[in-house]
Structures are given as C-alpha cells and as structure tokens.
Structure 1
C-alpha cells in the first residue's frame, strides 16, 4: 500500500472532534506477540524504517507528545519531530510532556538539553499528596531541589492529583487531571507514546480515542508487554475499537483503529 506523506491523514481525523479534553492518540511499535521490548529493554528498532515515519508524522501533527518517566530514564528520548523541511515546512515541534510523579527527570536528559527547540512540561504529584504518601522530609527537599534544577533548564513544571489507585511506594498521576491540565493550556491533540504503564492507564480508563499499532513480524517471547492488566474478565468487558485502516509500511503493518 501507499505509505506516502499524502496518506498521513489516515493517522489523525480531520477535523478533530470537538471534545472537552485533548483528542488522544495512542501509538506504539510491538512484536507480533505483543512485546514492546526484550526482557533486557532492547527495542531499537521494532519499527521498520518506513513505519518509524508514523511516529514522526504524529509528532508533527499532534500538538503534544506524552511519555512516562520510565521511558525517559530508559531511552532518554528527545521526542522531537525529525522530518525533513519539505515534509515539515512549518518546522512544527510538539509540546513534550513527561508524567513524573516524583520529578525524577534528569536535568542532563536530552529533553532538558533541547528545551529551546520545543516546550518541555514535567507533570508531577501535588506536594501535599506526595507528603501524605509517606515521603520523608529529606526526600521532599530533594524533590524540590530537582524541580528547581529542571526549571533552571527551561522546563515547565506542573502538579496534579494522584490516581485513587496509587500506593505510597508507586504514585500514579490522575490521567483525567492530566488531560484537564493540558486542555486548559490549549492543547487539543495528544500523542501518547508510552511506555506500557501509561498505555495501560489510558486504555483502562477509556481515554484513548484512536490507537495506532505498528506491528512487526518478529516474535520476542518473554519481554516487556505493551499492555498490562486492564481488569477485563470477560470478552464483553474488552476495550473495543473499530478498524479504520490497515497498511503495510515496509515489513511492518500499521493498524489504525478508533472508538
């Protein structure tokens, strides 16, 4: 099938539906058996050279791209659109969002060092809720110091409520609160890249409007699954989407589905 830039509108609806939150696109590359990396974390590249373009098109066309702190620590991504000028004549760059409850994003990360190329926003847990979770005073002081270092690198800082399912040892941010915050900041389209905990949270809470799977004809076996427990006990409870398109991009298959 044709995989040209002209077919990029298959990835996003035009115009976007009018919602009271950003339109959310989940997209990730996975093996044929549903893994986004090997057990050692190796994932470069499950995408084919051609299907990697999907990621770049979404970074160009969505107003923001979002990942979790696990992805930042494991991969140190820039999350910038790297399309050549003829494919991105306006040189668009997305707002880059990190969900990071404890503000662990390193000040020397690629995101921070490229904050002049596109806005970077790190969203963490509200201070009172971090304290209520049992965080020691020294840890709280260390967190505030990390926040100051991020701000000094030009990174924007925001705080939201934690998810009601959070446990003290692993705080999770409220995804609806994150979406409300982004909407208030004028963001109307959001590309969620992962990792698996973030993908699972959006799917579990029915907050994904479109899913784009980049499927590789490889089998990994035991690795890091793209989607974790969704609490589904019967097929009637499964998260159901409608197929919009299926196309071959190099040796991979790109499957676009929507609610």
Structure 2
C-alpha cells in the first residue's frame, strides 16, 4: 500500500521533529502517530543515547490503549533489538498499532529487521516514504554505519610546487582569504578537527570555525590534538569553546596504522560522524597511508616556495605502481587559488580490516 497524502505530511513533520534530537552515536529520529481518520494523536523524537526512541516517546504521551488502530509514521525503520531500550517494533505491536510507515531502512546488523517483525505480527508496513529526505537527515549517521568509523576529510594548503611552508617553517598565509573562508565553512560542518602537536606548537591555531568577520559559527568542531609532545599551556586551542581532546596513545606518525584506527574508534564512540584532518603533512600522510581518508581537499595557491617542507610526507609508495590514485570530484576557483576535491579509491573501514 502506498503512503497517503496525510502520511506524507506526517512524515515531513516527523523529519522536522527528528532535528530536535542531538546528532551523535544514535540517529536523529522523529515519529508521528495518526488516528484511523488521519488526526495526529501524538509526536515524539529521540533525545539521545539511553533515552526513549521516537516511537516509544510518542506512545508514552498517550493513555493506555489510545494507540490501538493507529498508524505510526517514523523517519527510520523501527528497531528490532534490545539495547539500552527495548525494541520499538515490539512496543508498536503491543500498543495495537496497525500500520507503520517509515522513510529509511535501519542498516544495523543487530537493530534491523523491525519491518519484518511488524509484518509477521500482521502490521501493514510501507517503507521508503520520502526516502531521499530521510537519507539527507541521516546522511552522516548512515555513513558511520556503512564505514564502521567516522567519515574522514584530509585537508591541506600548498604552493604550486607542492610545499606546505617555507624553509623556516612559516606558512601563514599560502592561500588567500576566499580559500580560508571556505576552510572555515567546512570546519563548521565537521564534528571534530584533528591536528598534530607540531602544528599546535608551530602555528598556535585556534581550531575554531569562524565567519569572515571573525565571529564564530554556531556549530564548532571538537578540537583533537594528536602526538606525544606537550603543547604550551597558553596555546589558543585551550580557549576553544569545546573541550580539547588529547590523543597521546600509539605513534600515529611512525607508520602505526592501528593508531589511526584507534583514534577514529574513540571519536566514533563519542558520537563523532565527520572528522576534519587539517594539520600537518605528517598527520595527513598517516591517514592517507592507512587508507582512512574518504575525501581530500587540496587548496593550491599560485606561488612557489621550494625547500624541504612538502605538503604530504611519506606514503609508503616505493614504486609508481603503488601510487595512491584519487578520483577528482570537483575543481573550484577561490579567488586566486584552486580547490581540488578528490576521493581516494581505496578508503577502508573496520569491516575491511577484520575488526568487526
């Protein structure tokens, strides 16, 4: 049975309700319960890990038995497992719901199967309603489910001859204001920004996302500093509006690929969906070498620096046959600079590494 106009309207409402919940380890989900004549009985949304799922939140606003014969309109397929909360599919069945409409299927190995469980109990189920809108809402969460880790963007700025700094280490600024404005906009879209201790010591970055007038974006990435060197107590990163995460574990810079995987696992467990790796060449190279970069942003300025400070370091490419090929997704002109957006062809997730 196709969704009715009233059910599609309720789905649009459920999608807006979902945005009230936090983006994190659990998906943002909204739910609307409709009476047989299409009247809204109750609404709900998920408020974060350990709280009632959207369907149960909506059911909890009704008197016992008031949902019998109702239709549940949910942005994500009702779950079918017991975690911190019980299975939503069972809660809907117990409440007497006779029809369920959802936008996106649950991709989880443990949590999926809710639609099948509902059908087995005689509930009419229709999926894929406003699916594009549902996937747009859950894009970053779905990416984490697919990869088994956060999505990783590796960014660098370079001169035309591939240098990230002058011979004395100075690098501010290689690119112009429009390129830097673009970087800050992309920072605001990330959940975490990762740099090495060397970058903090050399450049003292704030690691905030700022508008052209210097004002902070409302959304700020969590600052993450990787390395074993001690950063200055008065470093600007300590004044970031979000708490600093220091990752002082295994040597991410010495070719230890497990260290990069471990860092991403820690960030995933903190609810991070999108990671922005920004500094410097050694750190960027570590993620590329480990096959853990999903997107590359290379800002190229029409200037020549020469010298030893290349934008990317050792990638363990011993021969031309081992080169790391990328697919170019876009080339943008930003003032005098160019931005190349590319996708490595062999990005890996934990399932490809045998860790799941």
TM-score by length of structure 1 reads: 0.72
**Alignment pair present for 1:243 and 2:328:** yes
Aligned partners of 2:227 and 2:252 also within 8 Å: no
Q: Secondary structure at the match of 1:83?
A: coil
- State the Cα distance separating 1:240 from its structure 2 match: 1.2
- State the Cα distance separating 1:88 from its structure 2 match: 7.5
Among candidates 135, 160, 168, match of residue 32 of structure 1: 160
Structure 1 stretches lacking a partner, 5+ long: 1-13, 126-160
Q: 1:96 is matched with which residue?
A: 223
**Alignment pair present for 1:47 and 2:175:** yes
Q: 1:209 is matched with which residue?
A: 294
Residue 213 and residue 123 in structure 1: after superposition, are their counterparts in 2 closer, same or farther (change >3 A)?
Answer: same
Q: Secondary structure at the match of 1:55?
A: helix
- State the Cα distance separating 1:172 from its structure 2 match: 9.4
Q: 2:232 is matched with which residue?
A: 106
For 2:298 and 2:204, locate their aligned partners in 1 and report how far apart those are by CA, in whole Å.
22
Residue 215 and residue 165 in structure 1: after superposition, are their counterparts in 2 closer, same or farther (change >3 A)?
Answer: closer
User: Within 5 Å, which residues of 2 pair with 1:107-186?
Assistant: 107-112=233-238, 114-115=239-240, 117-125=241-249, 161-162=250-251, 165=254, 174-186=259-271
Q: Secondary structure at the match of 1:37?
A: coil
Q: Secondary structure at the match of 2:177?
A: coil
For 2:258 and 2:235, locate their aligned partners in 1 and report how far apart those are by CA, in whole Å.
22
Q: Secondary structure at the match of 1:50?
A: helix
Aligned partners of 1:162 and 1:173 also within 8 Å: no
TM-score by length of structure 2 reads: 0.53
CA offset digits 1:174-224 (Å, max 9, x no partner): 111111111111111000001111011011111100001000111111141
Residue 227 and residue 164 in structure 1: after superposition, are their counterparts in 2 closer, same or farther (change >3 A)?
Answer: closer
For 1:37 and 1:162, locate their aligned partners in 2 and report how far apart those are by CA, in whole Å.
24
**Alignment pair present for 1:66 and 2:194:** yes
For 2:231 and 2:216, locate their aligned partners in 1 and report how far apart those are by CA, in whole Å.
29
Q: Count residues in correspondence.
A: 203
**Alignment pair present for 1:76 and 2:192:** no
Structure with the greater alpha carbon radius of gyration: 2
CA offset digits 1:218-239 (Å, max 9, x no partner): 1111141111121212333111
Q: Secondary structure at the match of 1:122?
A: strand
- Structure 1 runs of 4+ with >6 Å offset: none
Q: Secondary structure at the match of 2:264?
A: helix
Aligned partners of 1:94 and 1:119 also within 8 Å: no
For 1:247 and 1:124, locate their aligned partners in 2 and report how far apart those are by CA, in whole Å.
36
Quote the RMSD (CA, aligned, Å). 2.4
For 2:212 and 2:167, locate their aligned partners in 1 and report how far apart those are by CA, in whole Å.
34
Structure 2 stretches lacking a partner, 5+ long: 1-135, 345-356
